[in-house]
Structure 1
Amino acid sequence: MNWEAVGQKRLLNLDELEEIIMAAYNNAKIYKDKTKKWHDQKILPRPYQPGQQVLLFNSRLKLFPGKLKSRWSGPFIITNVSPHGAITIKSPRDNHEFKVNGQRLKPYMGAHIERDKAVMSLRDA
């Protein structure tokens, strides 16, 4: 047995393994960049202005959500828009302000419906 030849072969195998690892790392980076580019083109920028009414998406996990219950709450009023996507909204009921991600909002396109009066009028009919 020639120990020097075995040692040289082992070093060559380690170099090959390092090259394979670097190739896999580069391929993973290329894949992630392509996936991010595809995902980012699906996200539509929504321009919001202060004073605009919006609905807020309730993303909390619920074990038994109502089948017909809406996951959108609001309307809320925008008070401040940051350039990086954070939006400060205010509740018209109690004037409580908080910041949310702009992707959790959508423009409010309707009039406020008082649910109690709508239910009462349906019961009377």
Structure 2
Amino acid sequence: MVALTEHPPDVDIESSSFDSELSTEDHHDHQLLELEELRDRTYTQSGCYKQQVKELQDHKLEGIDQFKCGDMVVWYNSWFRLFPGKLRSRWSGPFIITDVFPDGTIEIKDKGGTFMVNGDRLMHYIGEPMTDQTVEVFYLDPLYEM
């Protein structure tokens, strides 16, 4: 019975074929050495790939956690349990940074006042700038008047 096997593209099939001059034990040792060389080469290639991916990811993350005064941020409030549930967002904001301390504490302000939070719980706000515009609602139907 003939078994078909697929070989990796790096392996030369002719060099790994059975040579009549080699004994069975020598041939087995030769195949084990080839397998070990292939495993070593794969290990080094995966290390190079991991290094390249790490450098790429680090390059994308440069300066992302640098907060400056005047930046708009959102705050992860882990104590917020007013409406418990899976779909309730715990990110509050946006807030404006008023002061940055060297120990990682950041002072933020909103309409209610200023308070200090841990910088690890903040994330840059990506959205429209805050405005203090009020919207007046006019009900034309007398049924909906309050």
Question: What TM-score, normalized to structure 2?
Answer: 0.46
Give aligned pairs, total: 104
Partner of 2:24: 6
Q: How does 1:57-96 map to 2 (within 5 A)?
A: 73-77=93-97, 78-81=99-102, 87-92=104-109, 93=113, 95-96=115-116
What SS does the corresponding residue of 2:119 show, helix, strand or coil? strand
Partner of 1:18: 36
Structure 2 segments unaligned to the other structure (5+ residues):
1-22, 77-85, 140-146
Pairwise CA RMSD of aligned residues?
4.1
Per-residue deviation, residues 31-81 of structure 1 (Å, max 9, x unmatched): 2222333333344525534x44431276xxxx769xxxxx78321424325
Amino acid across the alignment from 1:48: F
Amino acid across the alignment from 1:88: T
Give the ranges of 4+ consecutive aligned residues of structure 1 lying more than 4 Å apart after TM superposition: 106-112
Decide whether the 8 Å contact of 2:67 with 2:100 is kept in 1.
no
Amino acid across the alignment from 1:20: L
Structure 1 segments unaligned to the other structure (5+ residues):
66-70
Determine the C-alpha separation between the residues in 2 that align with 1:64 and 1:108: 21
Q: Which has the higher contact order (CA 8 A, sep 6+)?
A: 1
